[in-house]
Amino acid sequence: MTAQVGALALPNPIMTASGTSGHGTELGSYFDLSGLGAVVVKSLSFGPWSGNPAPRLLPLAAGMLNSVGLQNPGLAAWGRHDLPALARSGARVVVSVWARSRSGYGEVGAELARLLATSPLDGSCVVAVEANISCPNVEDRDRMFSHSCEGTASAVEALVNALVPTGLPVWAKLSPNVTDLLSIAGAALGAGASGITLVNTLMGLAIDPVTGRSKLGGGGGGISGAALHPVAVRAVFECRRAFPEAAIVGVGGVSTGYDAAELLAAGANAVQVGTATFADPRAPARVLAELEAWCAHQGLASIAGLVGRAHG
């Protein structure tokens, strides 16, 4: 089940998805976190951020709409309270970071590099950094960084430069809300990202027709879960076709081993499980077990034999 994501080798291709399994070892009481390929923590900013007003989650017929708004304790507090427990769990950790300005990505990267340098034992569990650039950019009228090539390249470049001392790979997490995903993926890779994570949530809105108000406290939200799955499969498929050598992590609506196999066949090197965890906290471990059984049933000797199968 070994997965190769660029230069990073993982024991298997299944990870949690950022924001859907807490900041630390929250899922550790349901399954052994070290059994996953990696645990991706909720996106962290330089300082604490309180997120959006409630309600923040709305179940949909085929998934969920959320407007959590990137609530997090800030990198330093996370390093004190969550990183040591993650290190003790034996998990491989992917740190997701976000910022509200281009220079902010440099600052959060420098802070992470400092944190890892001052806590080398705990920090050794960190295997990659995911750049959440699918969040509002206050320098560009609340557009998302990953909604333009310029925004993508500048945020990724600032983060990659700041993380040079760590030697960690940086994956740029991209938005599906764009017409030209390939140019944006190219901008991320050109700016030094070691890989791309596809996809973040799709922008949506739910309105209560009685009050005329949004059903979520933050106004609009992001669609995740089953409805997003074909969007993710297509994004991965098209990016794999355009960038045959890129490291690609697929995410969107994976709730079974079969769903994970589909994203791997589209060209993902690894797959993240998010919304499925809300209905079943054991979902990431279950998806891994199902994928393993599916591969055995298919007579596949390795994950490498499945990755990109759709490109024949």
Ligand X SMILES: Cc1cc2nc3c(=O)[nH]c(=O)nc-3n(C[C@H](O)[C@H](O)[C@H](O)COP(=O)(O)O)c2cc1C
Residue with tokens 């499925």: 276
**What mask of x and - would describe binding to ligand X in positions 265 to 284, judged by CB under 6 A?**
--------xxx---------
What is d(CA 262, CA 134) in angstroms, rounded to the nearest whole number?
24
Q: Does 224 bind ligand X (CB under 6 A)?
A: yes
Q: Does 106 bind ligand X (CB under 6 A)?
A: no
Q: Is 135 a catalytic residue?
A: yes
Residue with tokens 């340098």: 117
Catalytic residue, from 125, 135, 149, 295: name it: 135
What does the chain come to in residues? 312
**What mask of x and - would describe binding to ligand X in positions 31 to 50, judged by CB under 6 A?**
-----------xx-------
What is d(CA 219, CA 227) in angstroms, rounded to the nearest whole number?
20
Q: Does 21 bind ligand X (CB under 6 A)?
A: no
What is d(CA 220, CA 52) in angstroms, rounded to the nearest whole number?
11
Nearer to ligand X, 234 or 300 (CB): 234
Residue nearest ligand X (C-beta atom): 19
Residue with tokens 């807490």: 22
Nearer to ligand X, 142 or 301 (CB): 142
193 and 154 Cβ atoms separated by less than 8 Å: no
Shortest Cβ 225–ligand X spacing (Å): 5
Task: List interacting residues with ligand X (CB under 6 A).
Answer: 17-20, 42-43, 64, 66, 68, 70, 96, 132, 173, 200-201, 224-225, 228, 251-254, 273-275
Active site residues: 135
